[in-house]
Amino acid sequence: MINNLLEKKWFKYILIISWVVLLVTFVSKCSFIFRMNDWYDSNCYFTVAYSMKNGGFTLYRDIYEQKGPYLYFMHIIAISIIPNSYVGMYLIELVYGIIFAIFAYKILGLYIESDKRRIIWLFIFIAAYYACPSFASGDSVEESVLPFEMISLYFLLKAYKNKSHIKWYEVSLIGLFTGFVFLSKFIDIAFFAGIMVMVVIFDLIDKDYKHAFMQLPYFLIGFVVAIIPCLLYFISTNALNDFLTSYFYNNIFLYSGQGDTFIKRLFLPLLAYATSIAGCYLIYILIITALVYVIKIKLYKTRLFIHMLVTYIIMAILLFAGGGVYIYYGLVYVIFGIFGIICLDRYSKDWKLEKNIINKPIKYLSIIFTICFLMVFIINEDGWFAFRSRPTYPQLKMSDIINEYNENNEEKATILTYDTLDYGLYYNTNTLPSTKYFCGLNIPLKEIGEEQNRLVENGLVTFVGTMNETLPEEYLDQYELVYTDSSWFEFAMHTYYLYQLKV
């Protein structure tokens, strides 16, 4: 019976969707099995979205964060689906994951004839993706980029397979994806830039000048359609200059991990790249597998290999030249792991994989799925903290103290996350920020420190939260420590402090 079901297209899609749902549920801290997502970036996104939706704040003008507007618009959708919860973003992550998996399945279909082998290899690939430490706690920009990369890669590989061009509407869709990513985190357009640059270059080499130059208008149609809603938003709110300054100027000229010496400028991009490898080491095993296979059968002179190699290099330059050492940056490289899966299938033709599945489908499928799930659960540390009780989160205990204050006082408390990234106090107490610079950020913008120091120095906020460092001594005449505790996050212990304004 199971073999008959595996022949059904609808059943294979049910398996794919079920697999994605199972894995995302255990690796994303936005999932319902976690009390909260304690990743700082995610809480920044939720605070900004909450402020825009419930406080009428205008992005960049009234509240400052350095990512792109589409990221916050997506979080507004998430908190509209399920208010006062992170689960709305979990549902959006499921959509990301399902789209990614379905188009990965389509790509495998271009190279793997057997549906049974294809579904097995897909499950292994999806498991390798969600096992990546670079997945962090879920809800990263990179996670939202991957489905667009996979769709674009499918368009490209389908064209190579059929020895044809990417269709005009597919080019427009790639332009649409690029525009969305450009206004989410612009360095992540590197994959799409590599894809399209090489398409045009190969057309020029073939002297197909008409097709080469027609790519630009088709691409721009999609790109412009993507950016128009954001431009209309900022124009209608008289915040266009704030948008251009905050998102483009500050990110390009201020937000950089580079040091001030030659050694640091050389070392940090290399460290950033090495961190990306460490964060996606299972994917890099697949990439190396593909590279070995390409060298073995001498495919390194093919256009597809050159196309992917140049795209990879363009991504490395744009992503790591700034020297930002963040483990989640490398997640966008998951896309290249699909080639390792295809090559593994070539190697495995003598493993009797398909024969075993046909003879004992339940046994072998169960073994493979169980091994893959355990791999994800063990490697990605997030699953270890599933079903934690509320008191084990210092952030939620601090939120309870603030909520209790609000219940006992007519005037609602004000909050400041001082000199550190947001860790959930605003969103978990339904409190609007009392300043544009509601938390400390990685970007060296001096206005952030000046404004935060002014608020604390003059006792203008009721509660001040810090992390890993206590409030400076000069402010302790006005504020008293009311709570402190430590919690494990990203392979380290972090200590949280909550200070209250003295009566």
pLDDT band at 492 (very low <50, low <70, confident <90, very high): confident
Q: CA-to-CA distance for 442 and 136, rounded, in angstroms?
A: 17
Coil vs helix vs strand at 438: coil
Q: CA-to-CA distance for 401 and 407, rounded, in angstroms?
A: 10
**CATH 3.40.190 holds for 390-501:** yes
- Least trusted range by pLDDT, from 74-83, 151-160, 272-281: 272-281
The residue-averaged pLDDT of 340-351 equals 82
* pLDDT of residue 3 exceeding 80: no
Q: CA-to-CA distance for 80 and 180, rounded, in angstroms?
A: 20
pLDDT band at 383 (very low <50, low <70, confident <90, very high): confident
Q: Which pLDDT belongs to residue 6?
A: 64
Coil vs helix vs strand at 103: helix
Q: Which pLDDT belongs to residue 12?
A: 87
- Residue spans of the domains in the chain: they are 2-35+66-385, 390-501
Report yes or no: 182 and 226 within 8 Å, Cβ to Cβ. Answer: yes
Run of H or E including 219: helix 209-236
Per-residue DSSP letter, 121? H
pLDDT band at 358 (very low <50, low <70, confident <90, very high): low
Q: CA-to-CA distance for 140 and 126, rounded, in angstroms?
A: 17
**Sequential DSSP letters for 147-186:** HHHHHHHHHHHHHHHHTSPPPHHHHHHHHHHHHHHHTT-G
pLDDT, tens digit, 9 for 90 and up, residues 184-222 = 999 999 999 999 999 999 999 999 998 899 999 999 999
The residue-averaged pLDDT of 42-56 equals 97
pLDDT band at 374 (very low <50, low <70, confident <90, very high): confident
Higher confidence at residue 467 or residue 362? 467
Q: CA-to-CA distance for 34 and 39, rounded, in angstroms?
A: 12
Coil vs helix vs strand at 256: coil
Per-residue DSSP letter, 470? P
pLDDT band at 359 (very low <50, low <70, confident <90, very high): low
Given strand 415-417, what is the order of strands in its sheet?
A: 415-417, 463-467, 492-501, 479-489
Task: Look over the chain and give the mean of its residue pLDDT values, rounded to a whole number.
Answer: 91
